[in-house]
Amino acid sequence: MSLRASPVIDHPALRILDGGSILCAGDLHIGLEDEMQSKGVIVPSQTMRMERELVAMAEGCERLVLLGDIKHQVPGTSEQEHSELPRFFDALRRVFAEIDVVKGNHDVGIEDIAFEGVHIHPPSGFATEEVGFVHGHVWPSSEVMSSKTLVMAHNHPAVLFKDGVGNIMTERCWLRAKFNDKARGRYSELPEEVIVMPSMNPTIKGSPVNLEGGRLLGPLFAQGMIDVDEAKVYLLDGINLGTVRSLRVERPRRYRYWTKEKEEK
């Protein structure tokens, strides 16, 4: 990745130099554990862990950008979200001079929870000098698409590994991709590259991007505007695994209905 937008090694966060130092993360899904518990799966809250992780990475960064799906429950707001989100934003305001939130598809009502001084941006995103920020579930604005680099979340990218005896595992990953000519029919200007961020919440292991026949979510992907096959895949530790095309694997049985179920959400 470019020097202007560099991943924080071993963390699902991006450090950006663009008119100042920016730390960027997305897909925290605070409140996910409450939903899991309602289904009989007991998972400790990850909110404090993510808060500590962001605070630990704050040194040298004046601004924090959160790329949507800060909360999880939709519609409405869970008791866990009402309890944990105010404390979460309060802790972050102590270490970041500015906090920006791009609304994701799970962030209905987050304006009623976020502290004063937290800037809430529409789902179409916002831009700094050279970087555009968007969650990814709606069309980005023309201003965002005129940026040099587009940073987005929403897909929770992961790479699936399969060994010779059928064992499988997934690891969260980054995607770095280019736009193709299909995007020029809608936008007069395009970013030089798009960076798709992994989920900040460690409970979310991610959705494999390298399954045969798999599709990513959001209008930019649905309309084939991003060259997914040639997208470069990076693990959180910085290892470059190659392109999505070179990593394609046959869909395991347990992922047979994965794409259809995701698209219906």
Residues 179-194 pLDDT 10s:
988 777 788 899 999 9
- Residue 115, sorted as left (phi over 0), alpha (psi -120 to 50) or beta, turns out to be beta
DSSP state of 30: B
pLDDT at 13 over 80: yes
Q: What is the pLDDT at residue 254?
A: 59
Distance from C-alpha of 32 to C-alpha of 119, rounded to nearest angstrom: 23
Phi, psi of 195 (to 5 degrees): -115, 125
| Domain limits for position 233 | 5-263
Q: How many domains does the chain have?
A: 1
At 253, the pLDDT band (50, 70, 90 cuts) reads: low
Secondary structure (3-state) at 51: helix
What is the model's pLDDT at position 260? 43
Q: Are 255 and 192 in contact (CB under 8 A)?
A: no
Could you read off the pLDDT of 134-161 as tens digits, one per residue? 999 999 999 999 999 999 999 999 999 9
SS3 157: strand
Q: How confident is the model at residue 255 (pLDDT cuts 50, 70, 90)?
A: low
**Token match 């991003």: residue?**
226
Sign of the CA dihedral with 259 first, then 260, 264, and 265 last:
negative
Report pTM.
0.89
Choose among 84, 106, 96, 105: nearest CA to 13.
96
More confidently predicted of 197 and 19: 197
